[in-house]
Structure 1
Amino acid sequence: MKRPNIVLFMPDSFSQTALDNAVTNNVQFPNIERLYRDGTRFTNCIVQHPVCTPSRCSLFTGTYPHTNSHRSLAHLLQPNEPQLLEYLVSGGYRVNIIGKNDLLSQELIQKYVQDPEENRFKPSAFPTPKYPEDHEKYYSFQYNTSNHGVYERDQYFVDRAKTWIHNHQESPYFLFVPINLPHPGYFSNERTESMVSPHQIAHLKPIIRDNKPLFHQGIRDTRNLELLDMNELKYIQATYYKMCLQVDDYLGQLREVLDDDTIFIFTSDHGDYQGHYGLVEKWPSSAEDDIIKVPLVMSGGGIPLNQVVTSPVELLDVMATILDYSDCEANHPHFSKTLRPLLHNPRVFHKEYVFTEGGYDTNEPYIFEGSPNANPRSIYYPKGLLQQTNPDSVSRFVSIRSKNYKYVKRSQDLDELYDLQKDPDELMNVIEDENYKPILTTLKEALLTWYLRTSDVSPIKKDPRHF
């Protein structure tokens, strides 16, 4: 049986909640909606870390951040680590990555990326901040419309991917296309600038000042976000939607050159606050669905059409799924579970709980962002400043999520519990509510069991004990 070509398309910071609220906000995604009809979408896909690199490392290794030690932006996959690309190459697949990195060390780039120099393309101009450096709203991540006529970096990546696909019709291949949008700063381009108006935004989660972790107020204070009124927050979310619509266009362009036998996977590494709770971007300790719930849609290769799966799944399950469809095998212990049975029977049991972890500990200051010599002109300056001056704001956390509840345990800051049936926007932290004690106890026990089962792995290869 002929093995399928596989394309993994990963925008950066694309939140599933933006798609969940699209109808309410009167925003249409024609190419994503077409992909829904042509395949199967998972509405509860949870990432294993709220930051780019650790999340991607979990996907490609099938292991959790506390198991693989990828817990920051600074540590990428190394040659000694078993991972998806290695197994695909060993199984006879041609692999390539076209786009941004945030995954591979330099040694692995040379091994798995064809023409890595081409991925360093820089556009002739970049969007500029909406406010000057000395303005009190400079750090709000609002940017001007990008220069008309500029050949944008993501369009360049998509064009290269289309050309590569056209030139590699021999099967099988695996192509990973990670692009930058809709990562902030928030800006639109000539095509999208009139597509979404702030007046369309009908669902914006309010600022919650009680029973929320320290970083909520910390981000608002260090970025002066308290100065933004509701109209400006809606402007931010409308602009975020414009960036997502540009991604929708790129997705459509990619799918135009694929045949029906090619498996196409659309997902993201994490989401974005997009103005909800009066916040922007993300945080290493974020556990809200706006950050940890991402799209996951698969099509082609016989995957059922127009199907919705509501069972909770983890982003790291994508590794085992790709290996399953490619008829390749992993030779290291991992926690990825193929989605193939669920794809063909949405009622089959997959996982009762899904997990996310993140944050840093005070005994590891070397992975904190920012430094005493940080440049205040950087749009990320407030992020490093908050971590350096209030390390508890970025304390480690772990989240356990069932279909109906979410519990967040933090090493320093307050814990959280949400009833996702009654409170899908996570506005009411019921951690102290006696009525939820039985649920909290169940989640704590399940979390402890998960840690016991995933705290370490034994190598598969056995060593001789004799001299």
Structure 2
Amino acid sequence: MMIQPNILLIVADQLRKTAVGAYGNRDVKTPVIDKLSREGVTFSNSVSASPVCAPYRASLQSGLYPHQHGVRSNADLFKPSFKGVAEYFSEAGYETCFVGKSHFGLDEIEEKDGWVRPEHRLGWKHWYGTGGDHHWDTPIYDERGMLDTKYYGRYGAEVRSEIAMDFIERHQSKPWLLQLNYSEPHIATMPALYGMPATREYIRELNQSLELGLTEEMLNVANPLAFCGTFPQSLLTQLLPQRYLDMYDETGLTLDPNVPERFRKLTSIFLKECYAMITCLDEQIGRVMDCLERTGESRNTIVIFTSDHGDMLSDNFLREKSLPYQNAYRTPFIAWGPEAGVPSGKGTDALINSVDVMPTLLELAGIKPGTNLPGVSQAPWITSGEGVCQQDVLLGVGNWRALFDGTYFYAVEKRDSTVKAIRLIHAQNDPYETENLLDDAFEGVYVELQKRMHERLFVRLAEVQDRAFADTDR
């Protein structure tokens, strides 16, 4: 009889693939994640089916695309009408625990950031879901929806780690599924601070004295939440424990070549903040890994580390996501579990999409999935280092859809009732996306490639019944 492994799914927030040491970044300090990669299986072609928070997180719980589960943007209310991953695991005898950022959609009660009604928790038995709380004073609510203030004054990543460790220490008599969601390295969302006229005036002074390059149009952004992605927050408030920021000197960080000249200094400060949060994340994962070792649970635990989506970090845009660009849709995906059968030091170019995660987890646990899941299990790559590669993966959010085959990325945009091709990128040869092969400079050269990818994209859209695009004039 198969021994059911524990599954620890760790999800970072807004962490792009290229911001991890294991994927070649020489500036960021991620020794724990790098060790997971050296001792496990590392996927080089992991993508987010919908590179923005709520649609991705609802997909992770459901194994469905946004048009199937209904959360197409962060503004959509989460109304589950599907069987969630925790329900499958509970039926198979697993103990289940959800810790950290949920953000399955628009908050049901606006003032209760991250609170989810018990009937909407998709079968998670132990629930410590939170909102974004980027990143202090983690708001955690009890079963009645009352705020538990005992975590106030604490940095959120530390709190989440401790809750996860407590669960591991108390549940060693049966297999478990633990989803641990961190908020790092997502920018802190502090609309109250950015909405203050005095703050905006101070920012104008800093922009001029530090020569950050922000235009007056940027400085006048009315939406404080949108402005969070325009100005480095460590210049205004305590973003995270200072010792992590002290590990980095922004003047020595490597910038991507497509960062606009006027934003290079601004971007270097963004990178310092981002890398500091990633190092904090890495350290907290290390604490949880130590707990697995201390309790002996590492002997039968498979750890999956990934992220919901990436971050442009000034590559053509400032702190942005949800865009058809590699730094927004490509994510890390690492599986570890030497004593649970995961081979050591393996890398794979196999494509894995976020809708593939649920069937992958189910197969790792020996659980039969439902017949309505569009994703493809990648468990064989994790358990043996070998498997069958998907031909391509489908992704998109809002008014764009795209196809990625590991080499080329092709995207279309819906405008009114018609669809227009917007991007064709050789992802391997052009990682900074400086050449859109649809531009006039390449006229006639890639016609057949575009035609083939266009036809394949709409075949895939029809397969998953994405009618908003599949039925349009193309």
Same fold (TM over 0.5): yes
1:273 aligns to 2:312 (yes or no): yes
Contact 1:39 1:299 in 2 (8 A): yes
1:240 aligns to 2:274 (yes or no): yes
Alignment match of 1:418 (pick from 425, 430, 438):
425
Match of residue 219 from structure 1: none
Match of residue 29 from structure 1: 30
Alignment match of 1:288 (pick from 325, 342, 345):
325
Instruction: Structure 2 unaligned segments of length 5 or more: list them.
Output: 106-115, 139-151, 189-232, 234-238, 293-297, 468-474
Tell me the distance in 1 between the aligned counterparts of 2:87 and 2:35. 32
Deviations 1:129-167 (A, max 9, x none): xxxxxxxxxxxxxxxxxxxx9520121011111011100
Tell me the distance in 2 between the aligned counterparts of 1:345 and 1:174. 21
Tell me the distance in 1 between the aligned counterparts of 2:132 and 2:46. 32
Deviation at 1:339, TM superposition (A): 1.0
Tell me the distance in 2 between the aligned counterparts of 1:70 and 1:425. 30
Deviation at 1:277, TM superposition (A): 2.0
Q: Determine helix, strand or coil for the equivalent of 1:176.
A: strand
Deviation at 1:343, TM superposition (A): 2.9
Deviation at 1:118, TM superposition (A): 7.8
Deviation at 1:66, TM superposition (A): 2.5
Contact 1:53 1:76 in 2 (8 A): no
Q: Determine helix, strand or coil for the equivalent of 1:276.
A: coil
Q: Determine helix, strand or coil for the equivalent of 1:240.
A: helix
Deviation at 1:354, TM superposition (A): 1.2
Match of residue 453 from structure 1: 463
CA 1:455–1:414 in structure 2 vs 1: closer, same or farther (change >3 Å)? closer
Contact 1:79 1:108 in 2 (8 A): no
State how 1:106-255 maps to structure 2 within 5 Å: 106-109=117-120, 112-113=123-124, 116=127, 119=130, 150-185=153-188, 187-207=239-259, 229-255=263-289
1:356 aligns to 2:361 (yes or no): no
Alignment match of 2:450 (pick from 440, 443, 447):
440
Q: Determine helix, strand or coil for the equivalent of 1:154.
A: helix
Contact 1:418 1:428 in 2 (8 A): yes
Tell me the distance in 2 between the aligned counterparts of 1:40 and 1:117. 29
Contact 2:19 2:28 in 1 (8 A): no
Q: Which amino acid aligns with 2:52?
A: V
Q: Which amino acid aligns with 2:412?
A: K
Alignment match of 2:401 (pick from 379, 395, 398):
398
Q: TM-score normalized by structure 1?
A: 0.75
Match of residue 361 from structure 2: 322
Q: TM-score normalized by structure 2?
A: 0.74
Q: Determine helix, strand or coil for the equivalent of 2:101.
A: coil
Deviation at 1:281, TM superposition (A): 3.1
Tell me the distance in 1 between the aligned counterparts of 2:367 and 2:406. 31
State how 1:37-56 maps to structure 2 within 5 Å: 37-56=38-57
CA 1:276–1:253 in structure 2 vs 1: closer, same or farther (change >3 Å)? same
Q: Which amino acid aligns with 2:328?
A: I
Deviations 1:71-98 (A, max 9, x none): 1123465453122111111111111111
Tell me the distance in 2 between the aligned counterparts of 1:340 and 1:24. 27
Match of residue 12 from structure 1: 13
Choose between structure 1 and 2: higher strand proportion.
Answer: 2
Deviation at 1:64, TM superposition (A): 1.7
Deviation at 1:338, TM superposition (A): 1.2
Contact 1:17 1:289 in 2 (8 A): no
Match of residue 112 from structure 2: none
CA 1:12–1:97 in structure 2 vs 1: closer, same or farther (change >3 Å)? same
Match of residue 61 from structure 2: 60
Contact 1:198 1:237 in 2 (8 A): yes
Deviation at 1:65, TM superposition (A): 1.8
Deviations 1:179-231 (A, max 9, x none): 211110354422211212222322324257xxxxxxxxxxxxxxxxx9x6412
Contact 1:46 1:355 in 2 (8 A): no
Tell me the distance in 1 between the aligned counterparts of 2:23 and 2:84. 35
Which deviates more, 6-15 or 425-434? 425-434
Tell me the distance in 2 between the aligned counterparts of 1:58 and 1:426. 27
Percent identical among aligned pairs is 24
Match of residue 380 from structure 2: 341
Q: Determine helix, strand or coil for the equivalent of 1:435.
A: coil
Deviation at 1:438, TM superposition (A): 1.4
Q: Which amino acid aligns with 1:35?
A: L
Q: Which amino acid aligns with 1:425?
A: Y
Deviations 1:273-315 (A, max 9, x none): 2232241132x4x011111111111111211111111222212
Deviations 1:299-343 (A, max 9, x none): 112111111112222122111111112122223411121112223
Deviation at 1:451, TM superposition (A): 1.3
Q: Determine helix, strand or coil for the equivalent of 1:67.
A: helix
Tell me the distance in 2 between the aligned counterparts of 1:406 and 1:79. 31
Tell me the distance in 2 between the aligned counterparts of 1:233 and 1:111. 39
Contact 1:52 1:269 in 2 (8 A): yes
Deviations 1:209-265 (A, max 9, x none): xxxxxxxxxxxxxxxxx9x64122111112111111111111111111121311111
CA 1:275–1:207 in structure 2 vs 1: closer, same or farther (change >3 Å)? closer
Deviation at 1:50, TM superposition (A): 1.3
Tell me the distance in 1 between the aligned counterparts of 2:371 and 2:41. 29
Contact 1:418 1:426 in 2 (8 A): yes
CA 1:41–1:76 in structure 2 vs 1: closer, same or farther (change >3 Å)? farther
Alignment match of 1:427 (pick from 434, 454, 464):
434
Tell me the distance in 1 between the aligned counterparts of 2:311 and 2:85. 26
Tell me the distance in 2 between the aligned counterparts of 1:277 and 1:62. 31
- Between the two proteins, the alignment pairs up a number of residues equal to 380
Alignment match of 1:304 (pick from 319, 343, 356):
343
CA 1:20–1:406 in structure 2 vs 1: closer, same or farther (change >3 Å)? farther
Contact 2:48 2:395 in 1 (8 A): yes
Instruction: Structure 1 unaligned segments of length 5 or more: list them.
Output: 128-148, 209-225, 360-395, 458-467
CA 1:31–1:48 in structure 2 vs 1: closer, same or farther (change >3 Å)? same
CA 1:43–1:125 in structure 2 vs 1: closer, same or farther (change >3 Å)? closer
